Chain A
Amino acid sequence: MIKTIRSILFACAALLAAGALPAAAGNVILTIEGDIAGGAPVDMTLEDIEALGAATIVTKTPWHENAVTFEGVPLSALLEKAGATGTILSVLALNNYRSEMPVSDISEHGVILAYKQDGAYMPVSDKGPLFIVYPFDADPALKDEVYYARSAWQVRSITVED
């Protein structure tokens, strides 16, 4: 745990140096890097992401009182678009939260990168702009701290690793 916190602190420092990114239209809100086609990081705007198609998950989460309808791009579509070849996604959030998830989760559970919650785009002040959502209600095995920890919100970048 200390290690995790430490890594978060380091990431935090890195972001401080890089400067903040506002979540306005036309702005880059997601960067995909690591083992992807071409090797160079790919920046994406909300429009770029929406263009990849949409999927919906209706589920309860530990962070909401009632069931919520999430709408977003399937992570599989996103990784396909980026030409990702790795097995692990290292996800970094705006709040410097960093989590890792196996790529296999995506095909197994149909994980999405949500940008809408109950029909509205998510602002940073409410877990926006991007939120990794598992269909918790679809599989009891998902109601586990491991998957809760992988459900990062305020996602800023995804690094594909081997």
Chain B
Amino acid sequence: MARLSKNIFNLLAVALAIAFLAIYVVHSNVVSDTDNALDRSSRYDVAWVGAAGRLESLHLQNALSNFIISSDSADASQVVLFADILTSRFKVFEAPAFQSFLDRKERRRPLLEKARGRFAAIVTDLKSIETLPTAARENLKLELEKVNAAVDRIGAEAQMDSVNEVAEIRKELKKKQYLQKWIATGLFGSIALLLVIAAVQNRYLRVANRKAVRNADEFSYLAHHDNLTGLPNRMAFNKAFSASVARFKDGVSDGLAVLAFDLDGFKAVNDRLGHATGDALLRQVADRMSHTCSGFPNAILSARIGGDEFVAMLDTALGEEAVLRQAEQLRAVLSAHYMIDGAAVIVGASVGVAISKPDRDPASLLIDADIALSQAKSSGKDRALLFDPAMHDLFLRRALIQAELACAIDNDQITPHYQIKVDVRTGRVTGAEVLARWTHPTLGPISPGEFTKIAEQSGLIVPLGRKILEKACRDALHFPAGMGIAVNLSVVQFVRGDLVQTVRDVLADTGFPADRLTLEVTESLMITEEGRAVEILSQFRKMGIAIALDDFGTGYSALSYLRQFEWDELKIDRSFVMEIEEDSRAGSIVGSIVSMAHQLGIKVTAEGAETCGQVTMLRKAGCDTIQGYHFGRPVPFSDFPAAMLQAVAASAKLKVMEDAADSAVA
């Protein structure tokens, strides 16, 4: 419809333009014709010339007749005067306008020329009329009568011609007027038509404009809202955020808080229960979110800015404490169990909170909240955490570590260090635990706790683990015979890649004997991947590799783990060792663990022994081997011989002291 009408409008516009052009051409012709007509009307003078000629000629004839009768010299002078006047008239007859009048009829010119000739022949006589004899005067009168008749005829025709011409001109003018009237009518009609077209087009435009506005509104809504939950989306949040930041910067608002939410375990819901359930969950989360926020007088906006990422923006008019309470309230509301299709779905929620500070750019609030959120998630989930600038540094450090980890592994920046284990009964060094150490060119030493976590998240733990294992096996070949090494394994290594094959390959490549290798795993492996873990660990044992359960006593320390697998070694966590001197109960627990382990045929190693007292207590509690600063810190391979000597020395010194103490008691 719109296109059709547009075409029609274009055609009409062209047609009108042509019509205007035509009208203009016709009009200008009419005007120039009218000019011609006016020009002709100025030849009206011909009538006067003719009429005056008639009168002058008649006057001359009368004067001559009078003179013939009276012989009065006054009459004679009239004859002389009018002879001159008629002479003048004949000259006027030569004017161009009069000539063209003569030419309009063939006989006129000969008639006039004949009269002119006759008059020329008698004019001298006329001017000396008084001297002429009477007979000559009569003759003159007869000749003049002939001239007079011709001038009279010509003059009358000139008058008639003019009358006719005037009539013709009038007729022509009338015709032109008629035409001009039509032109004017045409113009007015065209203008009226144009106005109608403009009005119609205007109507179309108004309709189109209304439609465009409606569409724009619709698009704007779609562009600013998440179509799954109906909450404002990231774009809407960004707009509102920028506006709020500007208000804060302008001093209109006291402060701004951004709360970033993330569901803990949403991915699992999606994977296990399907996307439909995931979507239903998100809708319910959005409902709870907007419902709860609508109860906050200081709420500015809540939005869904990603898969399971939600944000709420509040102002701090109620104070920071209130904001934190609200964050915790929201977290609790979102963490409550959901009913989807009659089944309960349980997910947690973590919250990162960032509140504007005078010394910090408010534009980074969302990033800060995200940092706090990731900190909340990495430090135990299902909690609300307020951002502080240290988190930002930590975040940057993590980002840097993450970015450079792969490179560090390839370039052997991460190397195995060795912490010696000592047999407390013999004082001999039985082996060493392998600990990965990374000395970063700018950050300096990075603790394994820090980078292994990042390596686990990115999966780089697999190549890293293999590299450390391989290097340690090659190093340990140089250790005294019978001395073993213990290498830690991460849960991720069990899940990703073929761990058994990797270990087998490394042993084959390095030629390190399997019976000198111990692999250490933590309780968390047994919690998350129990079946698979037991299977893999069993294969290791078949290969002759010893398996140790690390950090025993920290997590659930379920005794069932001890039953599920035939562990070779149990490592008591340093937290018990540190308190063993002061807290008698810690000593009792260690003793119980040791006696239980021994009954199951499991060796016990204590970690983190730093003092003589601790070592003595642990030995008395029945621990088989001890590891700790007392015998030496983790050292690189190059320092291992020296460390061994130091450990032996420490052990010997202890022995001497203990013996002295024993004899003192005795």
What residues make up the interface of A, taking CB atoms closer than 8 Å to B? 5, 8-9, 12, 16, 19-20, 22, 61-65, 94-97, 123-128, 143-145, 148-149, 153-154
**Residue B238 at the A interface, CB < 8 A?**
no
A20 contacts B59, C-beta separation under 8 Å? no
**Residue B456 at the A interface, CB < 8 A?**
no
List the one stretch of B23-31, B92-100, B136-144, B546-554 in contact with chain A. B92-100
**Complex A-B, nearest 6 residue pairs according to Cβ-Cβ distance, in ascending order:** A124-B84, A125-B87, A20-B81, A125-B84, A20-B77, A63-B95
With A and B bound together, what is the CA distance between A95 and B60 in angstroms?
10
Question: Given A62-B42, A95-B55, does the pair A124, B88 have CB atoms closer than 8 Å?
Answer: yes
Q: Which of B55, B80, B81 neighbours the largest number of chain A CB atoms within 10 Å of its CB?
A: B81
Question: Given A12-B55, A22-B77, A62-B45, does the pair A126, B94 have CB atoms closer than 8 Å?
Answer: no
Q: Which of A9, A63, A154 neighbours the largest number of chain B CB atoms within 10 Å of its CB?
A: A63
Q: Which of B52, B81, B91, B94 contacts A97 (CB 8 A)?
A: B52
Question: Given A148-B42, A149-B48, does the pair A95, B78 have CB atoms closer than 8 Å?
Answer: no
The interface bits of chain B over 27-65 (1 if a CB of A lies within 8 angstroms of the residue's CB, else 0) are 000000000000001111100110110011001000100
What are the residues of chain A within 8 A of B42 when measuring CB–CB? 62, 143-145, 148
B94 contacts A125, C-beta separation under 8 Å? no
With A and B bound together, what is the CA distance between A22 and B89 in angstroms?
18
Besides A20-B77, A125-B85, 9 other CB < 8 A contacts?
Answer: A20-B78, A62-B45, A62-B97, A63-B49, A94-B81, A95-B56, A95-B85, A125-B87, A127-B91
What are the residues of chain B within 8 A of A22 when measuring CB–CB? 77, 80-81
Question: Given A62-B45, A95-B52, does the pair A124, B85 have CB atoms closer than 8 Å?
Answer: yes
What are the residues of chain B within 8 A of A127 when measuring CB–CB? 88, 91-92
Q: Chain B interface residue count: which class?
A: 20 to 34
Q: Could you tell me the dominant secondary structure of chain B's interface residues?
A: helix
B92 contacts A63, C-beta separation under 8 Å? yes
With A and B bound together, what is the CA distance between A133 and B652 in angstroms?
154
**Residue B74 at the A interface, CB < 8 A?**
yes
Q: Quote the shortest CB–CB distance from B169 to chain A (angstroms).
A: 12
B residues 341-396 touching A (CB-CB < 8 Å): none
Q: Quote the shortest CB–CB distance from A67 to chain B (angstroms).
A: 13
Q: Could you tell me the dominant secondary structure of chain A's interface residues?
A: loop
Q: Quote the shortest CB–CB distance from A99 to chain B (angstroms).
A: 10
A62 contacts B95, C-beta separation under 8 Å? yes
What residues make up the interface of B, taking CB atoms closer than 8 Å to A? 41-45, 48-49, 51-52, 55-56, 59, 63, 74, 77-78, 80-82, 84-85, 87-89, 91-92, 94-97
Specify the chain B residue showing the minimal Cβ separation from A122.
Answer: B88
Specify the chain A residue showing the minimal Cβ separation from B91.
Answer: A126
What are the residues of chain B within 8 A of A124 when measuring CB–CB? 81, 84-85, 88
What are the residues of chain A within 8 A of B92 when measuring CB–CB? 63, 127
Q: Which of A8, A20, A64, A126 contacts B88 (CB 8 A)?
A: A126
What are the residues of chain B within 8 A of A94 when measuring CB–CB? 81, 85
Q: What are 10 of the A-B contact pairs (CB < 8 Å)?
A: A22-B77, A22-B81, A62-B95, A95-B55, A95-B82, A95-B85, A124-B81, A128-B88, A143-B42, A144-B42
Question: Given A12-B55, A20-B81, A94-B81, does the pair A154, B88 have CB atoms closer than 8 Å?
Answer: yes
With A and B bound together, what is the CA distance between A15 and B91 in angstroms?
24
Specify the chain B residue showing the minimal Cβ separation from A21.
Answer: B81
Specify the chain A residue showing the minimal Cβ separation from B75.
Answer: A16
With A and B bound together, what is the CA distance between A94 and B81 in angstroms?
8
A125 contacts B88, C-beta separation under 8 Å? yes
What are the residues of chain B within 8 A of A148 when measuring CB–CB? 42, 45, 48
What are the residues of chain A within 8 A of B95 when measuring CB–CB? 61-65
A154 contacts B85, C-beta separation under 8 Å? yes
What are the residues of chain A within 8 A of B96 when measuring CB–CB? 62, 65
A19 contacts B52, C-beta separation under 8 Å? no
Specify the chain B residue showing the minimal Cβ separation from A95.
Answer: B85
With A and B bound together, what is the CA distance between A154 and B86 in angstroms?
12
Q: Quote the shortest CB–CB distance from B47 to chain A (angstroms).
A: 8
Q: Quote the shortest CB–CB distance from B78 to chain A (angstroms).
A: 5
With A and B bound together, what is the CA distance between A8 and B80 in angstroms?
20
A12 contacts B59, C-beta separation under 8 Å? yes
Specify the chain B residue showing the minimal Cβ separation from A61.
Answer: B95
With A and B bound together, what is the CA distance between A65 and B93 in angstroms?
11
With A and B bound together, what is the CA distance between A9 and B54 in angstroms?
12
What are the residues of chain B within 8 A of A123 when measuring CB–CB? 84
With A and B bound together, what is the CA distance between A114 and B19 in angstroms?
54
Question: Given A62-B97, A63-B92, A65-B94, does the pair A16, B41 have CB atoms closer than 8 Å?
Answer: no
With A and B bound together, what is the CA distance between A104 and B632 in angstroms?
135
Q: Which of A61, A96, A149 contacts B55 (CB 8 A)?
A: A96
What are the residues of chain A within 8 A of B84 when measuring CB–CB? 123-125
With A and B bound together, what is the CA distance between A154 and B89 in angstroms?
11
A8 contacts B74, C-beta separation under 8 Å? no
Specify the chain B residue showing the minimal Cβ separation from A149.
Answer: B48
Q: Which of A9, A16, A64, A145 contacts B78 (CB 8 A)?
A: A16
With A and B bound together, what is the CA distance between A95 and B96 in angstroms?
22
What are the residues of chain A within 8 A of B59 when measuring CB–CB? 12, 95-96
With A and B bound together, what is the CA distance between A61 and B77 in angstroms?
30
Specify the chain B residue showing the minimal Cβ separation from A63.
Answer: B95
Q: Quote the shortest CB–CB distance from B652 to chain A (angstroms).
A: 140
B55 contacts A8, C-beta separation under 8 Å? yes
Q: Quote the shortest CB–CB distance from A118 to chain B (angstroms).
A: 13
What are the residues of chain B within 8 A of A149 when measuring CB–CB? 45, 48
Q: Which of A5, A9, A125, A126 neighbours the largest number of chain B CB atoms within 10 Å of its CB?
A: A125
What are the residues of chain B within 8 A of A12 when measuring CB–CB? 55, 59
With A and B bound together, what is the CA distance between A19 and B66 in angstroms?
13
Specify the chain A residue showing the minimal Cβ separation from B78.
Answer: A20
With A and B bound together, what is the CA distance between A76 and B529 in angstroms?
132
With A and B bound together, what is the CA distance between A9 and B651 in angstroms?
169
Q: Quote the shortest CB–CB distance from A130 to chain B (angstroms).
A: 13
Specify the chain B residue showing the minimal Cβ separation from A144.
Answer: B42
Specify the chain A residue showing the minimal Cβ separation from B77.
Answer: A20
With A and B bound together, what is the CA distance between A65 and B89 in angstroms?
15
What are the residues of chain A within 8 A of B94 when measuring CB–CB? 65
B77 contacts A19, C-beta separation under 8 Å? yes
With A and B bound together, what is the CA distance between A144 and B96 in angstroms?
16
With A and B bound together, what is the CA distance between A145 and B49 in angstroms?
12
What are the residues of chain B within 8 A of A63 when measuring CB–CB? 49, 92, 95
